[in-house]
């Protein structure tokens, strides 16, 4: 009896986690996959007919929006890293006693709702708004120049909205760099640039890796920024999925698109992890 219990114990221990995974991950994923292979409509119902054509139809219609989403996501991520690195570096090395205050300041705007934050950019970037009005009256930009409803506005919104997702992991990685290592580097006659490129940056790679994933994945599948700040030629795949699911109520197309997006992002992350050598990264993180 005791032996049986001992044998079963591990299974009972994974039960909560397993159930969580089953309810919130496996069932939705299976549902999504099976929907993507169905045909039918709301009135007559949907039947699983293994209709793989849903995928080819969806992709052949919406590949431009897919590519655009990846492009916007990547641009926003690169800009995000460029902006976050100095911030995280400064907080980690020069923040002194006020580190947590600075981090709090980075997070402060995020206590306001996502949509509201994006709408305030709409006011700021408006044709005769705070930014463009003075530029126009000084004659620096033409009268009919506008930022709203352009790619610039959407990428700007994405970069801004997902910035903390890069700042935080970068900060954590940089904060862990042992000051003695930096000291040793300068003892060995490395200049400030060499210290940064040979010591600090490689040690911060786990943070960059995590930041890129945490930024790119939501940014590429975002639709709020494109809806609020974008124009007719800035539609991202998230909007298409939303329209198909809620407006057209064409579940098979919506789920096929979601599956492709999920699969595409997973493959992308996998390739990225291979290229960057996650094992090294994880090892570096473990130390």
Of the pair 17, 232, the CB lying nearest other proteins is at: 232
Cβ of residue 122: shortest distance to other proteins, in angstroms?
8
Cβ of residue 72: shortest distance to other proteins, in angstroms?
14
Q: Residue 57: how many CA atoms within 13 Å on its side-chain side?
A: 13
The DSSP code for 111 is G
Of the pair 203, 237, the CB lying nearest other proteins is at: 237
Residues lying near other proteins in the complex (CB under 8 A) are found at 23, 27, 30-31, 34-35, 38, 40-48, 61, 64-65, 114-115, 126-129, 144, 146, 148-149, 224, 227-228, 231-233, 235, 239-240, 243, 245-250
Q: List CB contacts of 83: < 8 A, sequence separation 6 or more.
A: 159, 163
Cβ of residue 132: shortest distance to other proteins, in angstroms?
10
Q: Count of CB atoms within 10 A of residue 201's CB?
A: 15
Cβ of residue 230: shortest distance to other proteins, in angstroms?
9
Distance CA 249, CA 241 (A): 10
Q: What does 198-210 look like in DSSP terms, one character per residue?
A: IIIHHHHHHHHHH
Cβ of residue 93: shortest distance to other proteins, in angstroms?
37
Of the pair 23, 266, the CB lying nearest other proteins is at: 23
Of the pair 50, 90, the CB lying nearest other proteins is at: 50
Distance CA 98, CA 53 (A): 57
Of the pair 34, 75, the CB lying nearest other proteins is at: 34
Of the pair 101, 128, the CB lying nearest other proteins is at: 128
- Alpha-helical segments (H) within 108-178: 114-125, 132-137, 151-175
Burial of 19 (0-12, 13-18, 19+ CB in 10 A): exposed
Cβ of residue 112: shortest distance to other proteins, in angstroms?
14
Of the pair 28, 86, the CB lying nearest other proteins is at: 28
Q: What are the angstrom distances between the C-alpha of 182 and each of 93, 177, 198, 199?
A: 11, 8, 10, 7
Cβ of residue 154: shortest distance to other proteins, in angstroms?
13
Selection from 73, 64, 65 nearest residue 220 by Cα: 73
């Amino acid at each position: 009896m005791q032996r049986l219990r001992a044998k079963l114990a591990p299974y009972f221990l994974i039960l909560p986690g397993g159930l969580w995974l089953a309810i919130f991950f496996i069932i939705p994923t299976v549902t999504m996959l099976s929907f993507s292979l169905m045909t039918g409509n709301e009135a007559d119902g949907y039947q699983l007919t293994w209709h793989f054509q849903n995928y080819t139809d969806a992709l052949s219609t919406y590949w431009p929006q897919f590519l655009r989403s990846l492009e916007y996501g990547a641009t926003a991520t690169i800009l995000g890293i460029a902006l976050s690195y100095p911030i995280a570096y400064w907080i980690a090395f020069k923040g002194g006693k006020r580190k947590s205050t600075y981090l709090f300041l980075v997070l402060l705007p995020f206590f306001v709702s996502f949509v509201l934050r994006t709408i305030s950019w709409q006011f700021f970037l408006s044709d005769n708004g705070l930014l463009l009005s003075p530029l126009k009256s000084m004659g620096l930009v033409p009268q009919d120049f506008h930022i709203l409803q352009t790619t610039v506005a959407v990428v700007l919104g994405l970069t801004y909205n997902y910035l903390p997702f890069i700042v935080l992991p970068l900060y954590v990685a940089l904060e862990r760099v042992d000051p003695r290592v930096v000291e040793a580097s300068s003892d060995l006659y490395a200049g400030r640039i060499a210290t940064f490129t040979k010591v600090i940056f490689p040690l911060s790679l786990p943070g960059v890796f995590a930041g890129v994933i945490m930024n790119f994945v939501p940014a590429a599948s975002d639709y709020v920024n494109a809806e609020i700040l974008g124009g007719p030629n800035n539609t991202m795949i998230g909007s298409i999925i939303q329209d198909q699911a809620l407006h057209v109520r064409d579940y098979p197309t919506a789920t096929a698109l979601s599956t492709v997006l999920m699969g595409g992002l997973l493959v992308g992350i996998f390739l990225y992890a291979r290229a960057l050598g996650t094992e090294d990264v994880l090892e570096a993180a473990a130390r």
